[in-house]
């Protein structure tokens, strides 16, 4: 441990003094001013030997946090006499005279420059973080700051600066002094990089403010450093799976259980556990199901057993839905006979009375060698193991792996996703995450060969640090979509520093998104859409999606969409001359516009029964090489316009152009309905046909824009 931190802890202090903080910062390569701590009575001429003016004097006292506010900072002192006078004056200020003063820090003034702030923070879920902002009003009133999780790379450091709204000021905008971005980047790496201060001492340091770092064209000097120590020097022991068994084998009994026990089914009435057994039979589960019941011989036509320890074969997966207070003992009775128990019942940590019960559950499960999922959840849906909790879930094995902390929302996502074309490789509701948490499931899905895209609904990530490290270090790159609940909670209530006060509760999440192939959405529909997009389309890191071609019927619709796409950084830019001329040469019916967006009225789309789309797309792909093509069809406009149904030919055009130019443009479709039963039915049919052709379908163009923006984010985050 650092001697400064050790000393402070030995003294029972919760913060380092400014000289200690600076000494610690200097050990990590930050430049600090040369300084000396003096007392008012000292011979200053001797004390300042070897230092060059101008000087700064600062009061050093554990009672004075904001020195300037107390009159405890004096700058621009030209010699030892001026320093001496400043010290005497300061000592006479009542607020300082009555404080416990350790001395006066005399330091050389840093060369003039711009003031920026670098901060550090130990997030309760994600661990060490680093922050940067411009000094003064930018930080204080505009909260113009950027956070990242440690360790950051040089690229991350540059991205942090680019993220600041006031970044132009650093570049010398409006007469401001140009500063060395490299010097700031270096300082950021000293604090937040791989061997940086926060990465090394993140568990000891609760908050760190370097405020300001004075930067000019040559140097960056940390003239103030404030270090608040964390209450707990050691990281909390987390419920990590240090299981030596690789994740796929570890979780196979869960996703492909050969034997299932069910606790909570009744002989007389039909309650949730009975429903589970019936659904499992209907879904075609072909392993053994053992109802557990203290007295009954048979439940749902199956032979019942008295407890989890007395089944004919060991249990891979136990479904537990009974009175909460009985559950810990029942799991305890398993004694090595159960690999995974999913506790559906509520009444645990989510209510005050259940906190102790959940602790008991965990203790007994551990003693019985059983991993717990839940409590307070709804179940598992795993097509590969023929396990389901929702009714009529799709049987085919898909590629989307999902974990949700809300069971009800889980059912929504499965069912809504099902009709939009999502197919799952696994779907686990994890409730309170007493034992198995999001990071465990991320580890599984990253390793699982069936899974290509991963979705989470999260309220509380638990071991966020492990989640981040898994994403950061994983060899297999898979896109992750997070639907985050509880975004509006208040931030850290008791921050002792600037940095702490500036970190709202989403700062770490935003950093996670900025640093890993992980995108965040805020509605169930956006979640399903993003997953669908990533299920259907392959991320293309070599050329992240940016230039989009819009093609369909509805002029105003495409004008509105062009704005919406542009606001998300997706460009629908007019075609190059060659493309336009070639398209014009097709001699399409009047009313057609062939700049981008391509506006094709119904009559045009019906032209040659829709085969005209082939020719249009061919020209677009050949001469404009877009990153993505969005086709949009206003289905209501087709009604009563002759008996040509061009849809199949339009889809066929989309498929064949994709085959002809593999990997060139992502193709997506917006099928717009007026909401009437007639058009909605048509749309359902068309949607299925498009999905069968591998094309992701959205309800409206803004949905398509958001989905493509999510895809682009993943493409940027993937290593090429
Ligand atoms: P506090 O934040 O506790 O009020 P600081 O140590 O940050 O005190 O000093 C207040 C201000 O004085 C700084 O924001 C900076 O503008 C200026 N200052 C302090 N030390 C120096 C220095 N060594 N060189 C140049 N300016 C300094
Ligand atoms: Mg300061």
Q: Is 178 helix (H, G, I), strand (E, B) or coil?
A: coil
Q: How far is the CA of 135 from the centre of ligand 1 (A)?
A: 11
Q: How confident is the model at residue 176 (pLDDT cuts 50, 70, 90)?
A: confident
Distance CA 533, CA 707 (A): 6
The predicted structure's pLDDT at residue 495: 59
Residues linked to residue 103 through DSSP beta bridges, in sequence order = 60
Cβ–ligand 1 distance for 58 under 6 Å, the answer yes
Ligand 1 centroid to residue 12 C-alpha, Å? 27
- Average pLDDT, integer, range 416-431: 96
Beta-bridge partners for 381:
427
Locate tokens 């802890």: which residue?
A: 9
Question: Pocket of ligand 1, candidates 224, 497, 498, 499: which has the most ligand atoms within 8 Å of its Cβ, to mutate?
Answer: 224
Q: Is 212 in the pocket of ligand 1 (CB under 6 A)?
A: yes
Tell me the ligand closest to 135's alpha carbon: 1
Phi-psi sector, 374: left (phi>0), alpha (psi -120 to 50), beta: left
Burial code (b: 16+ CB inside 10 Å, e: under 16) for 287-323 equals bbbbbbbeebeebbeeebbebbbebeeebbbbbbbbe
To the nearest 10 degrees (0 to 180), the angle between helices 507-515 and 464-473 is 10
pLDDT at residue 323 greater than cutoff 70: yes
- Asked if residue 704 has pLDDT above 70, the reply is yes
Ligand with smallest separation from the Cα of 114: 1
Q: What is the DSSP string of 19-57?
A: HHHHHHHHHTT-B---EEEE-TTS-HHHHTTT--SSEEE
Distance from the alpha carbon of residue 11 to the mean position of ligand 2, in angstroms: 24
Q: Does 538 sit in the ligand 1 pocket, CB within 6 Å?
A: no
Average pLDDT, stretch 75-104?
Answer: 95
Residue 259 has pLDDT above 80, yes or no: yes
Least distant ligand from the CA of 75: 1
Question: Rounded CA gap, 419 and 438, in Å?
Answer: 26
Q: Whose CA is nearest to atom 7 of ligand 1?
A: 224
User: Is it the case that residue 710 has pLDDT exceeding 90?
Assistant: yes
Q: What percent of the chain has pLDDT over 90?
A: 83
Q: CA-based diameter of the chain, in Å? A: 102
Which two tokens mark 496? 């002792």
**572-619 residue pLDDT tens:** 999 999 999 999 999 998 889 999 999 999 888 888 887 889 999 999
Nearest to 549 by CA among 483, 626, 494, 465: 626
Report how far residue 453's alpha carbon sits from residue 29's, in angstroms, rounded to the nearest whole number. Answer: 41
Q: How far is the CA of 53 from the centre of ligand 1 (A)?
A: 15
Q: Angle CA(334)–CA(339)–CA(344) in degrees, nearest 5?
A: 80
Say whether pLDDT at 673 is over 90: yes
| Residue closest to 400 by CA, chosen among 481, 337, 512, 343 | 481
Q: What is the pLDDT of residue 494?
A: 56
Pocket probe mutation, ligand 1, options 15, 33, 70, 75, max atoms within 8 Å of Cβ? 75
What number does the ligand 1 atom closest to the CA of 66 have? 3
Mutate to test the pocket of ligand 1, among 68, 116, 210, 226 (most ligand atoms within 8 A of CB): 68
Give the chain's radius of gyration (CA, Å). Answer: 32
CA–centroid distance, 212 to ligand 2, in Å, is 6
| Ligand 2 midpoint to CA 224 (Å) | 5
Distance 115 CA to ligand 1 centre (A): 10
Evaluate: CB of 598 within 6 angstroms of ligand 1: no
**For residue 135, which atom of ligand 1 is closest to its CA?**
14
- Residue 1 in this model has a pLDDT that exceeds 70: yes
Residue 103 Cα to ligand 2 middle (Å): 17
What pLDDT sits at residue 577? 95
Q: Which of 118, 214, 222 to mutate to test the pocket of ligand 1 (most atoms within 8 A of CB)?
A: 214
Helix (H, G, I), strand (E, B) or coil at 253: helix
Cα–ligand 2 centroid distance for 211 (angstroms) = 4
Q: What's residue 491's pLDDT?
A: 47
Is the CB of 109 within 6 Å of ligand 1?
yes
Residue 82 in 3-state DSSP?
helix
Q: Residue 173's pLDDT band (boundaries 50, 70, 90)?
A: confident
Structure confidence by residue, pLDDT tens digits, 352-373: 999 999 999 999 999 999 999 9
Asked whether 33 lines ligand 1 (CB < 6 A), one says yes
Is pLDDT above 80 for 63?
yes
pLDDT in the model for residue 169: 83
Quick check: CB of 213 below 6 Å from ligand 1?
no
Q: At residue 241, does pLDDT exceed 90? A: no
Mutate to test the pocket of ligand 1, among 73, 119, 133 (most ligand atoms within 8 A of CB): 73
Using CA atoms in the order 426, 427, 431, 434, what is the torsion angle rounded to 10 degrees?
0
Other CB atoms within a 10 A radius of the CB of residue 475 amount to 6
- Kindly give the distance from the C-alpha atom of residue 73 to the centroid of ligand 2, in angstroms, as a whole number: 10
CA atoms within 13 A of residue 445's CA, in its CB half-sphere: 31
Ligand 1 atom, smallest distance to 58 CA: 6
Residue 211 has pLDDT above 80, yes or no: yes
In whole angstroms, what is the distance from residue 646 CA to residue 668 CA?
Answer: 17
Q: What is the pLDDT of residue 719?
A: 82
Q: Which atom of ligand 1 is nearest to the CA of 69?
A: 4
C-beta of 107 in contact with ligand 1 (< 6 A): yes
For residue 110 and ligand 1, the question of a CB distance below 6 A is answered with yes
CB of 66 closer than 6 angstroms to any ligand 1 atom:
yes
223 lines ligand 1 (CB under 6 A): yes
Residue 570 is predicted with a pLDDT of 98
234 pLDDT exceeds 90?
no
Overall average pLDDT of the 560-577 stretch: 96
Tell me the three-class secondary structure of 310-339, residue by residue. CCCCCEEEEEECCCHHHHHHHHHCCCCCEE
Give residues with Cβ within 8 angstroms of 270, minimum separation 6: none
Cβ atoms within 10 Å, residue 216: 17
- Under the banding of pLDDT at 50, 70 and 90, the label for residue 493 is low
Closest C-alpha to ligand 1, atom 22? 109
Sheet holding 35-38, edge to edge: 35-38, 103-108, 55-60, 73-77
Percentage of residues of the chain with pLDDT beyond 70: 97
What is the arithmetic mean of pLDDT over 39-46?
91
For the stretch 108-132, pLDDT in tens is 999 999 999 999 999 989 999 999 9
Tokens of 626: 């877009």
18 alpha carbon, closest ligand: 1
CA 75 to centroid of ligand 1, rounded, Å: 8
Q: Name every residue whose Cβ is closer than 8 Å to that of residue 201 and which is 6 or more positions away in sequence.
A: 1, 2, 5, 24
What atom in ligand 1 is closest to the CA of residue 35? 23
Identify whether 355 is preceded by a cis peptide bond (ω within 30 of 0): no
Q: What pLDDT is attached to residue 240?
A: 43
DSSP states of 115-136: EEEEEEEEETTTEEEEEEEETT
Which ligand 1 atom minimizes the distance to the CA of 67?
A: 3
The answer on pLDDT for 25 being more than 90 is yes
Rounded CA separation 188/696 (Å): 42
pLDDT at 496: 65
Ligand nearest to the CA of 66: 1
Pocket test for ligand 1, best of 61, 213, 223 (most atoms within 8 A of CB): 223
What is the model's pLDDT at position 235? 53
How many whole angstroms separate alpha carbon 344 and alpha carbon 122? 34
Q: Can you give the pLDDT at residue 638?
A: 83
Q: pLDDT (tens digit, 9 = 90+) per residue, 446-469?
A: 999 999 999 999 998 999 999 999
Average pLDDT of the chain to the nearest whole number: 93
Mean pLDDT on 209-225? 96
- My answer on whether omega of the bond before 54 falls inside 30° of 0, hence cis, is yes
Confidence check: pLDDT of 242 > 80? no
Walk across the sheet containing 666-672 and list its strands: 598-599, 548-552, 628-634, 666-672, 697-698
Q: Which ligand is nearest to the CA of 73?
A: 1
At residue 12, the 3 state secondary structure works out as: coil
Which residue's C-alpha comes closest to atom 5 of ligand 1? 224
Which ligand 1 atom sits nearest the alpha carbon of residue 107? Answer: 23
Q: Which atom of ligand 1 is nearest to the CA of 211?
A: 7
73 CB within 6 A, ligand 1:
yes
Answer whether 363's CB lies under 8 Å from 355's CB.
no
């Amino acid at each position: 441990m650092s001697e400064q931190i050790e000393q402070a802890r030995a003294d029972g202090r919760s913060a380092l003094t400014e000289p200690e903080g600076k000494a610690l910062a200097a050990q990590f390569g930050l430049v600090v001013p040369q300084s000396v701590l003096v007392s008012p009575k000292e011979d200053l001429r001797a004390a300042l030997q070897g230092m060059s003016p101008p000087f700064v004097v600062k009061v050093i006292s554990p009672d004075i946090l904001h020195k300037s506010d107390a009159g405890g900072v004096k700058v621009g002192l030209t010699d030892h006499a001026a320093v001496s006078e400043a010290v005497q004056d300061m000592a006479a200020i009542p607020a300082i005279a009555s404080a416990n003063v350790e001395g006066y820090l005399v330091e050389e003034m840093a060369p003039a420059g711009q003031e920026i702030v670098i901060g550090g923070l130990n997030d309760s879920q994600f661990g060490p973080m680093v922050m940067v902002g411009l000094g003064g009003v930018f930080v204080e009133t505009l909260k113009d700051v950027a956070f990242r999780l440690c360790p950051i790379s040089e690229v991350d450091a540059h991205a942090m600066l680019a993220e600041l709204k006031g970044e132009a000021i650093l570049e010398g905008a409006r007469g401001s002094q140009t500063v060395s971005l490299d010097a700031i980047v270096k300082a950021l790496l000293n604090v937040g990089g791989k061997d940086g201060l926060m990465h090394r001492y993140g568990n000891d340091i609760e908050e760190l403010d370097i405020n300001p770092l004075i930067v000019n064209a040559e140097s960056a000097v940390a003239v103030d450093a404030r270090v608040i120590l964390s209450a707990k020097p050691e990281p909390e022991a987390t419920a990590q799976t240090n299981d030596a068994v690789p994740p796929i084998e570890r979780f196979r009994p869960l996703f492909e259980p050969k034997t299932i026990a069910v606790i909570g089914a009744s002989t007389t009435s039909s309650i949730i556990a009975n429903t589970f057994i019936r659904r499992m039979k209907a879904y075609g589960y072909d392993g053994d199901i053992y109802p557990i019941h203290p007295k009954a011989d048979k439940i749902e036509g199956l032979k019942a057993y008295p407890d989890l320890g007395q089944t004919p074969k060991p249990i891979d997966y136990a479904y537990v839905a009974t009175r909460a207070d009985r559950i810990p003992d029942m799991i305890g009775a398993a004694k090595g006979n159960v690999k995974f128990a999913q506790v559906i019942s509520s009444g645990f940590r989510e209510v005050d009375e259940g906190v102790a019960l959940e602790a008991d559950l965990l203790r007994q499960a551990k003693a019985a060698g059983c991993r717990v999922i839940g409590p307070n959840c709804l179940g598992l849906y795993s097509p590969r193991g023929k396990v389901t909790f929702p009714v009529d879930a799709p049987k085919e094995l898909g590629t989307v792996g999902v974990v949700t902390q809300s069971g009800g929302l889980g059912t929504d996502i499965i069912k809504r996703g099902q009709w939009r074309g999502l197919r799952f490789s696994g779907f686990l509701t994890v409730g309170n995450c007493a034992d198995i948490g999001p990071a465990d499931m991320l580890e599984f899905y990253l390793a699982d060969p069936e899974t290509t895209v991963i979705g989470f609904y999260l309220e509380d990530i638990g071991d966020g640090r492990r989640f981040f490290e898994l994403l950061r270090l994983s060899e297999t790159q898979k896109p992750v979509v997070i639907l985050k609940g509880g975004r509006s909670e208040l931030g850290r209530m008791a921050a002792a520093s600037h940095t702490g006060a500036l970190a709202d509760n989403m700062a770490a999440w935003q950093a996670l998104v900025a640093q890993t192939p992980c995108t965040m959405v805020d509605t169930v529909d956006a979640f399903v859409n993003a997953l669908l997009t990533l299920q259907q389309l392959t991320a293309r890191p070599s050329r992240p999606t940016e230039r989009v071609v819009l093609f369909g019927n509805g002029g105003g619709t495409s004008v509105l969409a062009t704005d919406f796409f542009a606001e998300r950084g997706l460009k629908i830019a007019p075609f190059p001359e060659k493309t336009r001329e070639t398209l014009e040469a097709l001699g399409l019916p009047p009313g057609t516009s062939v700049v981008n967006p391509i506006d094709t009225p119904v009559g045009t789309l019906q032209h040659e029964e829709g085969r005209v789309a082939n020719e249009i797309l061919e020209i677009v792909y050949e001469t404009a090489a877009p990153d993505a093509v969005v086709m949009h069809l206003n289905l209501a406009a087709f009604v009563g316009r002759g008996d040509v149904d061009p849809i199949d030919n339009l889809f066929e055009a989309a498929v064949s152009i994709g085959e002809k130019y593999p990997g060139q443009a992502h193709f997506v479709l917006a099928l717009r309905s007026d909401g009437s039963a007639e058009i909605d039915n048509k749309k359902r049919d068309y949607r299925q046909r498009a999905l069968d052709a591998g094309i992701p379908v959205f309800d409206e163009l803004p949905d398509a824009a958001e989905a493509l923006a999510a895809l682009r984010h993943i493409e940027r985050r993937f290593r090429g």
